[in-house]
């Protein structure tokens, strides 16, 4: 009985954690390693969500020859599609794969373009630029109805429905495995000479140029491929919610929280980032479950999470600015005596 209630809860929290891990570890590579202060992380994430909102369902409607408007007759179309998807394994899987690639393409193009436009900016100005860009995209998404249903959002069909009773568990595994693959890629990059180059950009860009590195091209590369992965996070979030509402991709959930995760865990350290993400998700979950017991507080409990977010930022900045697991000094292996034999 306990297991039956706790297991879904644990898996649900784990998927939530895993998806946030993409956001925070991408930010860690951008900000913690390369020093690109991207405060508008959510533009890449929402670009993935817009792709899954606009592309696969339209394609499915076209493939099945359903003569209805996907946006304005959304609920009806989705229920029809769910019926079709239940008997057809190929179409939803195929659509999902297309969606992933399309999302990565759109995410990386946006990442490239906006980074290109902001090459001369650094630090605060760069952060503000990205925040403005992301807000502009959000406003566009909220008001341009054909993209993601505008202010009301749209529902998505269940792409895993053909799995029957396994649907939920397969879907959850999928949500957990993909982020960890992405995390492994980031960790691999961080440990390579390329990761070292990124840290050098953060420390002194001009000095690095005077050592023969094209730092601009490296920064563009980093933003392009992290944005592609962030777009995957957007797709996963939408699949998990089975809907896309442009307004939910906002600065608090998809920029400030990842920033706190990175700062709390330790910028420039992927393991720290993992830990920071875990701590933040657990705190958020506890607040979510317990807040209705806290009605006696003099504030509207709606805002409790936001208040805690701000408080946590201040506490981290004052007491632990380097994070729980600070960036390690990378040891060069052959310099350690035990390795010198080989």
Partner 1 sequence: MGVILKVENLVKKFGNLRAVDNVSLEAPEKSITLLIGPNGSGKTTLLNCIAGIYKPDEGKIWFNGRDITGKQPYEIVNMGILKTFQIPAIFNRLSVSENLLIFYRKNPGEKLTNALFRKKWLEEETLATQKLLETLKTLEIDSQHDKRANELSGGQLKLLEYSKLLMSDATLCLLDEPVGSINPVLANKIFTYITDARNNMGKTFIIVEHRLDIAVKYVDYIYVLVNGKILCEGSPEEVLKRKELYEVYLSPLPT
- The residues binding partner 1 (CB under 8 A) are 185, 188-189, 192-197, 199-200, 203-204, 206-215, 221, 225, 268, 327, 329-335
- Record the tokens describing residue 97, joined without a space: 């794969």
Residue 64: count of CB within 10 angstroms of its CB: 15
Taking the complex as a whole, the smallest distance from the CB of residue 178 to partner 1 amounts, in Å, to: 17
Residues 135-146 as b or e (16 or more Cβ within 10 Å = b): eebbeebbeeee
- In the complex, least distance from residue 197 CB atom to partner 1, rounded to whole angstroms: 5
* Closer by beta carbon to partner 1, 6 or else 211: 211
Q: How many angstroms from the chain centroid is the CA of residue 250?
A: 12
Nearer to partner 1, 58 or 213 (CB): 213
Q: Min. distance of Cβ 327 from partner 1 in angstroms?
A: 7
**Which DSSP string corresponds to 122-167?**
-HHHHHHHHHHHHHHHHHHHHH-HHHH-GGG-EE---TTGGGGGGH
Q: CB burial class (10 A; 0-12, 13-18, 19+) of residue 24?
A: buried
Q: Min. distance of Cβ 236 from partner 1 in angstroms?
A: 22
Q: Which is nearer to partner 1, 319 or 337 (CB)?
A: 337
Based on CB atoms, which residue is closest to partner 1, 247 or 326? Answer: 326
Contact 108, 225 (CB under 8 A): yes
Token representation of residue 328: 């390690």
- Cα–Cα distances (Å) from 94 to 68, 98, 159, in that order, read 22, 6, 10
Radius of gyration over every alpha carbon of the chain, rounded to an integer in angstroms: 21
How far is residue 305 CA from its own chain's centroid?
19
Do the beta carbons of residue 147 and residue 53 sit within 8 Å?
Answer: yes
Shortest gap between Cβ of 216 and partner 1 (angstroms)? 9
Q: How far is the CB of 208 from partner 1 (least distance, A)?
A: 7
Nearer to partner 1, 14 or 208 (CB): 208
Cα separation of 171 and 19, whole Å? 13
Cβ nearer to partner 1, comparing 218 with 275: 218
Shortest gap between Cβ of 280 and partner 1 (angstroms)? 24
- CB closer to partner 1, 122 vs 192: 192
């Amino acid at each position: 009985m306990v297991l039956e209630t706790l297991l879904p809860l644990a898996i649900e929290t784990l998927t939530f954690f895993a998806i946030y891990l993409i956001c925070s570890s991408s930010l860690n590579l951008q900000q913690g390693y390369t020093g690109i202060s991207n405060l508008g992380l959510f533009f890449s994430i929402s670009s993935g969500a817009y792709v899954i909102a606009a592309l696969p369902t339209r394609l499915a409607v076209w493939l099945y020859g359903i003569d209805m408007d996907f946006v304005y007759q959304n609920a009806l179309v989705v229920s029809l599609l769910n019926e079709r998807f239940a008997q057809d394994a190929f179409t939803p899987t195929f659509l999902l794969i297309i969606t992933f690639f399309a999302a990565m393409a759109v995410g990386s193009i946006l990442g490239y373009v906006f980074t290109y436009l902001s090459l001369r900016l650094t630090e605060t100005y760069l952060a503000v630029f990205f925040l403005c860009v992301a807000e502009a995209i959000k406003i566009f998404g909220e008001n341009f109805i054909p993209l993601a249903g505008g202010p009301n959002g749209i529902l998505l069909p269940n792409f895993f429905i053909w799995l029957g009773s396994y649907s939920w568990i397969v879907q959850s595994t999928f949500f957990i495995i993909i982020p960890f693959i992405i995390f492994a890629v980031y960790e691999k990059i961080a440990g390579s000479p390329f990761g070292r180059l990124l840290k050098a950009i953060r420390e002194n860009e001009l000095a690095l140029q005077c050592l023969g590195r094209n730092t601009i091209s490296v920064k563009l590369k980093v933003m392009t491929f992290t944005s592609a992965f962030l777009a995957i996070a957007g797709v996963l979030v939408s699949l998990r919610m089975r809907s896309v509402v442009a307004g939910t991709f906002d600065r608090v959930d998809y920029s400030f929280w990842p920033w706190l995760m990175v700062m709390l865990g330790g910028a420039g350290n992927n393991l720290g980032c993992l830990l920071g993400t875990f701590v933040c998700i657990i705190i958020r979950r506890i607040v979510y479950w317990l807040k209705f017991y806290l009605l006696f507080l003099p504030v509207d409990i709606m805002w409790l999470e936001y208040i805690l977010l701000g408080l946590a930022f201040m506490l981290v900045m004052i007491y632990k600015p380097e994070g729980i697991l600070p960036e390690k000094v990378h040891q060069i292996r052959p310099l350690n005596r035990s390795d010198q034999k080989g």
